[in-house]
Amino acid sequence: MQLLLAPMEGLLDFVLRDILTRVGGADRCVSEFIRVTGRLLPDRVFYRFIPELHNGSRTLAGVPVRPQLLGSDPASMAANAARLAELGPFGVDLNFGCPAKVVNKHGGGASLLKEPDRIFRLVEAVRRAVPAHMPVSTKMRLGYDDASLSIACAQAMQAGGSSEIVVHARTKVDGYRPPAYWERIPEIRAAVHVPIIANGEIWTAADALRCRAESGCADLMLGRGIVADPGLAWSVRAAVQGEPAQTVEWRDLHPHLIRFWQMVCADLTPGQRAGRLKQWLNLLRRRYPEAEAAFAHVRTIRDQREITAWLRNELGHFEVSEPSAHEVQWQLAH
């Protein structure tokens, strides 16, 4: 069984990839999407989204990271994929699932699920542009308005050269509303011969077992569920093997919360820092009562020094520095 960390714009970035892969249990990460328009992106853009490229495309815990590209023009996607390939990524992933209005308005993300022929041309162009040994994978939803073209889209991805397909078992119109329709995945699996990975609405080990049973997929991609419960991958592995549940307790998260805050303070502007901590605590409330109390305390605080002082009091002494370069990028580069 392979467990992947999902690409989640504005949430599961390199900071949380670092934290969650330190907790452990995941086999691979996919980055937030890098939007490709009509120009060749400079290297600094790829390094900003995936500083792990400084470290052989692996997190500091050693887990591979596959960059994801999003765009709608085959030539531009191919050119940028070729440039990215020169930086040594762990493959290239293509986004055919983003439901954001601004992305779909410009013909990217889930909007391409209405046009399997365009999907084929995009995947084929990228496949031809990168070295043969480098995997090209894809991520899709069941469809745009409905799932009527799901098989055609998956077959187009396979025909274009995708080596595996992640299926988020909802349409664009469904957004992130439960449920995820895992039972729609077997018909996609039957129509292609490349591996299919199931994604969507996996919050607990019990969800993972049901998803595997209904989808027929051995491999899963975890998103908001593992952000809410950083030990979810270990719990899933234990459940699949019929072993006693493995849990990560709140006290086990203390050093990770400290590192998260240190990294956020090193990487983000002062106006963004408090919001990132609140965002994570808000999801952690689903799993930890202690996170409920922590979120209630910091939700109205904007001052970094006040949050740092509270964390020191709750979690123990630590230092928050203001380095001249992104802390994680510096570590990976050196």
Residues with a catalytic annotation lie at: 98
Six-digit token string for 165: 């397909």
* Burial environment of residue 45 by CB neighbours within 10 A (0 to 12, 13 to 18, 19 or more): middle
Q: Describe the crossing of helices 270-284 and 304-315 by its angle, rounded to 10 degrees.
A: 40
Task: Indicate the DSSP class of residue 179.
Answer: -
CA distances 316 to 257, 308, 309, Å, are: 11, 10, 10
Query: Is the Cβ–Cβ distance between 253 and 197 less than 8 Å?
Result: no
| Cα–Cα distance measured from residue 23 to residue 248, given in angstroms and rounded to the nearest whole number | 8
What size, in residues, is the chain? 334
Residue from 156, 157, 153, 191 nearest 172 by CA = 153
Name the pairing type of β-strands 92-96 and 28-35.
Answer: unpaired
